[in-house]
Structure 1
Amino acid sequence: EKIRDIPGLVDLKDNFVKGKPEIRVRVDKEKAALRGLDTYTIAYTVKAAVNGVKVGVYREGKDQYDILARLPEKDRKSIESLKRITVSGPKGEPIPLTSVAEASLATGVGAIQRLDQKRVVTVSGDVSGRLANDVIQEIESRLTRDFNWPRGYSYRFSGEQREQEKAQAFLSKAFVAAIFIILFILLAQFDSFAAPMIIMTSVLMSLIGVFFGLLVTGTAFGIIMTGIGVISLAGVVVNNAIVLIDYYKQLLSRGLSSREALVRAGLTRFRPVMLTAITTLLGLLPMATGVSFDFKKFAWDIGGESSQWWGPMAVAVIFGLGVATLLTLVVVPVLCSLELSLRQRLTTKSKAAP
């Protein structure tokens, strides 16, 4: 009831099964021991009175029927009648049930659900018109602020939230692993630490485009698909910086000055870099907009179900690659020039030192 009126939360239900009323008999072991009785004897007497005990068999032809001895039906449905039951003592003397046990009305458990050997009650629901993360945050705030949990009770989120946390942990590790693998390969190829670090700045610049694109299009940050888009983007955007820096290094080895080499490298590599980015963006555009062509029916399909799943990944790659490409053509040459000037200054200072 505390979370039923949360906006966007629909089809709220649980698997709790209410138990039926029952008569509960609690044996006082100390009083029973003083009278020479045990729990089994008392429980057997109550069971025999209510459920009956087999005292014989009635045969009629080939059929036979069990003969049960128990209290009349009117005495089995009243707790007051149950309290008048007597238990046979060690010497056969009648002992009132109320002197060794307490009978009371209670509610039993309808069904017991367990998870990891612990009793659980599962509350499930769907989300409509809002992000699942926003609804979960509001649920958690209400359960923490407005509800006093009894001792021994706790709650946790599962289902989509749990799967999302697993995906987030996996994709975070995958992104870090991808960055280190790319960096290791670049270090081995360029035999330098400065050039790979300049190339890796394009990855950071692509993240600017990713968040900008999600903000402009109003697309939710999906942990799975947006995360996959960011990881794939890391491998794509470094290609532009590698092409630019590799040609810049070749021009420097031919004896050109740093400024002239940067200008020529930018002019020469501008066309392939832009063509690569534009073809990639155009290829992902139908996926981002949800517009595709069904060749089986020879008809345009707008806003299909697949676009809702692949849309966040396409938006992340399109805007990330677009922004990273433009910034790479400006920022990477600046960083290359800065790196060369710093290296020359350090060389001059080392030569000037006595």
Structure 2
Amino acid sequence: FPDSERHQIDSLKKVKVQNNQGRLIPLEKVAFYKRERSYSMINRQDLLRVVRVEASVDTDKITSLEVNRRLQKNINIKDQYPDYSVNYGGEQEDAQSSFTDLVISFAFAMGVIFAIFLVYFNSVTTTGVVMGAIPFGIAGVLLGLMLHGKPLSFMSMLAIVALSGSIVANTLILVTFTEELIKKGQDLKEAIINAGAIRLRPVLLTTVTTVIGLLPSAYGIPTVNHFVQPLSLSFAWGLMFATLITLVLCPLLYMMKEDFLAKFKNRHQS
């Protein structure tokens, strides 16, 4: 039907249709019409009717993940309409998919790092000591996000993956230097104390300079970048927390490891 005629009721009335006798008669002879409001389009997905609500976000003021978090907290459609369901798509859907991929990548990276250290040290327990500080880095990230009221976003997860390498580097410095001192003839306790004292300054300086470099973007100086801020904030807090814990935990774990191996060896010999 021509576009010019589609909204003319008289034109529709005169449309010829075939009756049961095979004759063409005007549509108005067998039908009536009335004006009603109706949907111009009905969207369906998986055979279910859907209504899509789309909006753009000013990323200079807030992230889309934060908007969705507030919507989920303040709008309870399920309570008012139990038969309805709400799905959050767009960037949140992409982020959830990316989360899964990132977790798999993180697990793979940890496996590769563990394998490399296992070959290098030829010891499962020493490798465990080196990688033992990683959970504390994750705890530092979660603490920093909680104190600043930030959600665990994709960029925060990315910071955890990157942070793990820096944490392992610090513990690796302490462990390898401790083993070098033991090989030179120092006893276990003396080697651990000397390694901590000698390597304290390099580890702290590396951490402090990294954190200072991250502070402007982490705290929005001079302006807040909501895309980069979660990564910088997570990395800075995770690195600070993990470094402080590592300086105490790593020597402790190494001493516990040596004591355990010594007791196991004595028991096995007896």
Q: State the TM-score bracket (shorter-chain normalisation).
A: 0.7 to 0.9
Contact 2:145 2:152 in 1 (8 A): no
Provide the residue aligned with 1:317 in structure 2: 235
Q: Distance in 2 between matches of 1:49 and 1:199?
A: 81
Corresponding residue for 1:349?
Answer: 267
Alignment partner, residue 28 of structure 1: none
The range that moved more, 121-130 or 229-238, is 121-130
SS in 1 for 2:132: helix
Q: Partner of 2:135 in structure 1? A: 204
Q: Kindly provide the CA deviation profile for residues 186-209 of structure 1, in whole angstroms up to 9, marking residues without a partner as x.
A: 111111101111111111111121
Q: Is 1:226–2:156 an aligned residue pair?
A: yes
| 1:148-183 deviation digits (Å, cap 9, x = unpaired) | 43xxx7653211321221222122222212211211
Residues 159, 231 of structure 2: 8 Å contact kept: yes
| Equivalent of 2:13 in 26, 44, 50 | 50
Deviations 1:287-317 (A, max 9, x none): 21222xxxxxxxxxx224xx32211111111
Q: Is the Cα–Cα contact under 8 Å of residues 208 and 320 in structure 1 kept in the other structure?
A: yes
What secondary structure sits across from 1:220 in the alignment?
A: coil
- Does residue 327 (structure 1) correspond to residue 257 (structure 2)? The answer is no
CA drift at 1:124: 2.6
**Distance (whole Å) between structure 1 residues aligned to residue 42 and residue 80 of structure 2:** 27
Q: Which has the larger radius of gyration?
A: 1
Q: Which residue of 190, 194, 198 maps to 1:268? A: 198
SS of aligned partner of 1:308: coil
1:62 maps to what in 2? none
The residue that corresponds to 1:143 in the other structure is 77
Is the partner of 1:124 in helix, strand or coil?
A: coil
Q: 2:188 aligns with which of 236, 258, 263?
A: 258
Counterpart Cα distance in 2 of 1:89 and 1:48 = 24
When the two structures are aligned, how many residues end up with a matched partner?
256
Q: What residue is the counterpart of 2:254 in the other structure?
A: 336
Deviates more, 1:246-255 or 1:234-243: 246-255
Mapping for residues 270-285 of structure 1, pairs under 5 Å: 270-285=200-215
Tell me the equivalent position of 2:118. Answer: 187
Normalising by structure 1, what TM-score?
0.63
Partner of 1:132: 67
CA contact 1:167–1:223 (8 Å) conserved in 2:
no
SS in 1 for 2:54: strand
Partner of 1:89: 21
* In 2: Cα distance, 1:148 partner to 1:110 partner: 26
Superposition pairs of residues 282-301 of structure 1, within 5 angstroms: 282-291=212-221
Q: Is the 8 A contact 2:153 2:230 kept in 1?
A: no
Instruction: Letter of the 1:143 partner, please give it.
Output: I
Distance 1:118 1:229 in 2: 39
What is the distance in 2 between the residues matched to 1:129 and 1:193? 45
Q: What does residue 101 of structure 2 align with?
A: 170
Residue 303 (1) aligns with residue 237 (2)? no
Q: Distance in 1 between matches of 2:85 and 2:32?
A: 32
Q: Amino acid of the residue matched to residue 163 of structure 1?
A: D
Counterpart CA distance in 1 for 2:150 and 2:12 is 66
> Equivalent residue for 1:73?
none
Q: What's the TM-score, normalizing by structure 2?
A: 0.80
Cα shift at 1:347: 0.9
Deviation for aligned residue 1:327: 0.9
**Pairwise CA distance, 1:339:** 0.7
Cα deviation, residue 108, structure 1: 5.1
Task: Please give the alpha-carbon distance, in whole angstroms, between the structure 2 residues aligned to 1:52 and 1:102.
Answer: 11
CA distance in 1, matches of 2:149, 2:228: 11
Where is the helix percentage greater, Structure 1 or Structure 2? 2
CA distance in 1, matches of 2:263, 2:101: 44
CA deviation after TM superposition for structure 1 residue 222, in Å: 4.5
Percent pairwise identity: 26
* Aligned partner of residue 197 in structure 2, secondary structure: helix
- 1:236 equivalent among 166, 170, 189: 166
In structure 2, give the amino acid aligned to 1:214. L
Distance 1:49 1:347 in 2: 98
- Please state which structure has a larger fraction of its residues in strand: 1
Question: Conserved in 2, the CA contact under 8 Å of 1:219 and 1:312?
Answer: no
Go from structure 1 to structure 2 and tell me whether the alpha carbon gap of 1:157 and 1:51 turns closer, same or farther (over 3 Å shift): farther
Structure 2: give runs of 5+ residues left out of the alignment. 1-6
Q: 1:104 deviation in Å?
A: 7.3
Q: Distance in 1 between matches of 2:62 and 2:196?
A: 47
1:277 Cα deviation from its structure 2 partner: 0.8
**1:117 CA displacement:** 8.1
Cα distance in 2 between the residues matched to 1:330 and 1:155: 48
Do the aligned partners of 1:248 and 1:265 also contact (CA within 8 Å) in 2? yes
